[in-house]
Structure 1
Amino acid sequence: MHQPEPDVGTRVLHLTQPVDGGVARVVTDLTRAQLAAGLQVTVACPDSPFADGLRALGAQVRRWEATRSPGPSLPGEVRRLVRLLDQVRPALVHAHSAKAGLAGRLAVRGRIPTVFQPHAWSFEAVGGTTAALALKWERFGARWAGRLVCVSEAERTTGLGAGITGRWSVVPNGVDTERFHPGAADAVRAALLPEVDPAAPLAVCVGRLCRQKGQDVLLEAWADVVRKVPGARLVLVGDGPDAERLRAGAPESVLFAGAVDDTVPWYRAADLVVLPSRWEGMALAPLEALACGRPVVVTEVDGARESLPAALVPRCLVPAGDPAGLSRAVAALLSDAPLRTSLGEHGRRHVLSTHDVRRTAAAVADVYRDLLCLRPAPRVVPTESRESIHP
């Protein structure tokens, strides 16, 4: 049975360092829902357009300058969070992603009910000694989280397999299905890409231009796609540290849109949306594309299989880091308009039934209420850490 919302007036503090991409959208959606439910919401994050958007929603925003990765600035970042906690005095802290999860748990140390949501595990993003240190921290830091919230069962399984212990909840990512919905492609494509033949098969990749999202693998696969589907075009939507390198190696059939304020028109313009990630928890871009009625091709990383309806799995899920498999799937779908339409309709129904952001917000509210009413939560060993909450 769904539990009621936390008490009106409960003060929640969200901590996040990423101010763009999926983490920022998750925090924004949760903030909007929690404000509507009567909670007092404060977000600690670096100055950014993201912070401005949260203020526009009515949230209190506290400036917390932090680097994206751990480094020499970490002690100062933790000290600033300690002071901020004394000022805000939240009833509950919700830390998002590896960096905020590290600094936040060091600052709180279990003194306040704390939710840690990794949004993909830190030790998957690095290698060698750095990965070993990240894993050692995650195992140790879990003691200071009253609840570990994963966005997919696969992400939870990865954590368990790595020896991370604690109380777990699985709350699948959701998207705003009123914002992300189908629309006519012709007009929007003409406005976005006036130089492109309206009849050209169009693939779109939405995501930060970085190693995690795998655009380099997509570019490696793209030459084979164009051989199979002459005239096909690819648009990379987003910006990031790999932008210059990717541009330097891209053929003329690949366009770079850069960072955009609204991704909806790009989803609607696409015949197919592709996200060739190397790792994820559960990526938002495929869910947003499906909500817009567009089929997707995604790599089999954590959360990918769970984000797809069964009808899409055979044609839309490919191994990670496999340019040949990626090119086959993309070319096959770009060549088959009726199949794309059918898969897009399946995808839209799946998102409406399983990944609506309102279901996600309700499940997170259940986690908060449980922590606020039942603290301190007992820790359990991995074989017993079976608690999952699905909206």
Structure 2
Amino acid sequence: MAEPVAAPGRGVSPMRIAEINDIASVATEIGAGLRARGHTVDYFYPRLVGAKLHPNIKPITGPIRALDWVDLIRRIRAGRYDLVHIHYAYLGNIGALGGFPYILHCHGTDLRGGTFVTRPLIANAIRQARHVFYSTPDLASWVLPLRPDAEFLPNPIDTAVFAPRTPPSAHRSAWVACALTKVKGAERILRACRLLAERVPDLRIDAFGGGEFTKAFRALPNVTLFARHPRSRLPQIIDEHGIVIGQARLGSAGMAELEAMACGRPVVTWFNERGGYSEPPPFFSAVDGDDIARIVERLANDPAARDRAGDAGRAWVERHHGLERIVDRVEAVAQAIIRGEPVPAAPAA
């Protein structure tokens, strides 16, 4: 359930918006917020045939995806939407081909994972969008050369759902919130877990299995791996742990780290994009496995520090990633585009 969002202010006209695709529930959260303000929002989900194939093999699915895009364009035209909000960079070409006014929302892998086939499509989608959002500060270097007016829009966090039910001091255990993959720095987290097995052998560490480092994690005596649960179970899983370990390579916070912080948990992660916010987030930033182990050990032995960090983190998420703030911005940008007016300047993140 999305947190309550204020009704639209004076001068805001009801809009018909099509949300295409959903990455990390961002479209769902924004759409729910817009609906609460009286706007009509419908969701469209591309089939994404072959999404899990190797990037060099994916082009063979092109004809099937083209047919899917044609069908999406037909359905969007039939809906007579004022604006289309597209999530995932290359999918912006649906808007370009359909001739719709569209906002393009970039999320990370859609830019970092580009290939010689998709990069021209991504560039075209970015250039033709009426406005471009990107979800983490590190993506600026990918987007701004093509669109200097692109804007960092923090991902909305449903702080009513992702909320602490118990204090972190009630649990002496750690949760690895990221995938066990190289791109997330799993080898650094693996080293931290090995060190913690020696230094704090009674500290339980849990994680979802999946990724190329799964076998190595499963072999550790202090790590328990679980099958993936429905997203609705995530708040409870986070709340059952006193410490959360996030990605250790990308340098930016994703939804996993932010949702854990909203749950009032201290989050140990590698974060080096402090300039992306007007107020740096209170992560425990760790550059390698030794750092992660040192910080986790200290937090495991200091329940009061876990509570202080958890309170500070949740308050920061409410200030910078609260749903109302994000919906305010999407609504203002959409209204300007529909009216043919310049997009208003963005507030400080």
Q: For this structure pair, what is the TM-score category when the shorter chain's length is used for normalisation?
A: 0.7 to 0.9
Give a deviation string over 1:276-321, Cα, whole Å, max 9, x none: 243376411222222221110111265x7757965835xx0122xx
Q: Secondary structure at the match of 2:249?
A: coil
| Aligned counterparts, 1:146-185, within 5 A | 146-160=130-144, 163-184=145-166
Q: Which amino acid aligns with 2:86?
A: A
Residue in 2 that maps onto 1:94: 85
Q: Is the aligned partner of 1:67 residue 2:50?
A: yes
| CA spacing shift, 1:7–1:258, aligned 2, 3 Å | farther
Contact 1:138-1:164 within 8 A present in 2 as well: no
Q: Secondary structure at the match of 2:156?
A: coil
Q: Which amino acid aligns with 2:267?
A: V
Give a deviation string over 1:310-343, Cα, whole Å, max 9, x none: 5835xx0122xx2222222222222222221111
Deviation at 1:263, TM superposition (A): 0.8
| CA spacing shift, 1:158–1:81, aligned 2, 3 Å | closer
| CA spacing shift, 1:154–1:345, aligned 2, 3 Å | same
Q: Which amino acid aligns with 1:183?
A: R
Contact 2:136-2:254 within 8 A present in 1 as well: no
Cα distance in 2 for residues equivalent to 1:118 and 1:362? 19
Q: Secondary structure at the match of 1:30?
A: helix
Residue in 1 that maps onto 2:68: 80
| Unpaired stretches in structure 1, ≥5 consecutive residues | 47-63, 190-197, 379-385
Cα distance in 2 for residues equivalent to 1:388 and 1:300? 23
Q: Which amino acid aligns with 1:42?
A: D
Give a deviation string over 1:338-374, Cα, whole Å, max 9, x none: 2211111111221222221221122111121122122
Cα distance in 1 for residues equivalent to 2:87 and 2:90? 10
Q: 6, 10, 13: which is aligned to 1:7?
A: 13
| CA spacing shift, 1:143–1:123, aligned 2, 3 Å | closer
Contact 2:158-2:322 within 8 A present in 1 as well: yes
Q: Is the aligned partner of 1:339 residue 2:308?
A: no
Give a deviation string over 1:188-238, Cα, whole Å, max 9, x none: x9xxxxxxxx97x3110224444433334312221112222231111113x
Q: Is the aligned partner of 1:364 residue 2:330?
A: yes
Q: Secondary structure at the match of 1:273?
A: strand
| CA spacing shift, 1:145–1:155, aligned 2, 3 Å | same
Q: Is the aligned partner of 1:232 residue 2:223?
A: no
Q: Secondary structure at the match of 1:263?
A: helix
Q: Secondary structure at the match of 2:60?
A: coil
Cα distance in 2 for residues equivalent to 1:309 and 1:144? 32
| CA spacing shift, 1:107–1:358, aligned 2, 3 Å | closer
Q: Which amino acid aligns with 2:262?
A: A
Residue in 1 that maps onto 2:105: 117
**Further displaced range: 340-349 or 326-335:** 326-335
Cα distance in 2 for residues equivalent to 1:143 and 1:77? 22
| Aligned counterparts, 1:1-391, within 5 A | 7-8=13-14, 10-16=15-21, 23-45=23-45, 64-68=47-51, 70-89=58-77, 90-97=81-88, 101-106=89-94, 108-109=96-97, 111-125=99-113, 130=115, 134-160=118-144, 163-184=145-166, 201-237=172-208, 240-242=210-212, 244-246=214-216, 249-261=218-230, 262-279=233-250, 282-300=253-271, 310=280, 312-313=282-283, 316-319=284-287, 322-374=288-340, 388-390=346-348
Residue in 1 that maps onto 2:3: none
Contact 2:180-2:210 within 8 A present in 1 as well: yes
Question: Aligned residues, how many?
Answer: 332
Identity %: 21
Cα distance in 2 for residues equivalent to 1:329 and 1:360? 32
Deviation at 1:258, TM superposition (A): 2.1
| CA spacing shift, 1:317–1:353, aligned 2, 3 Å | same
| CA spacing shift, 1:267–1:257, aligned 2, 3 Å | same
Q: Secondary structure at the match of 1:95?
A: strand
Q: Which amino acid aligns with 1:312?
A: P
Deviation at 1:158, TM superposition (A): 4.4
Deviation at 1:106, TM superposition (A): 4.8
Residue in 1 that maps onto 2:5: none
TM-score scaled to structure 2, two decimals?
Answer: 0.81
Cα distance in 2 for residues equivalent to 1:83 and 1:12? 18
TM-score scaled to structure 1, two decimals?
Answer: 0.73
Contact 2:192-2:293 within 8 A present in 1 as well: yes
Q: Secondary structure at the match of 1:41?
A: strand
Q: Which amino acid aligns with 2:84?
A: V
Q: Which amino acid aligns with 1:318?
A: A
| CA spacing shift, 1:32–1:107, aligned 2, 3 Å | closer
Contact 1:92-1:113 within 8 A present in 2 as well: yes
Q: Secondary structure at the match of 1:12?
A: strand
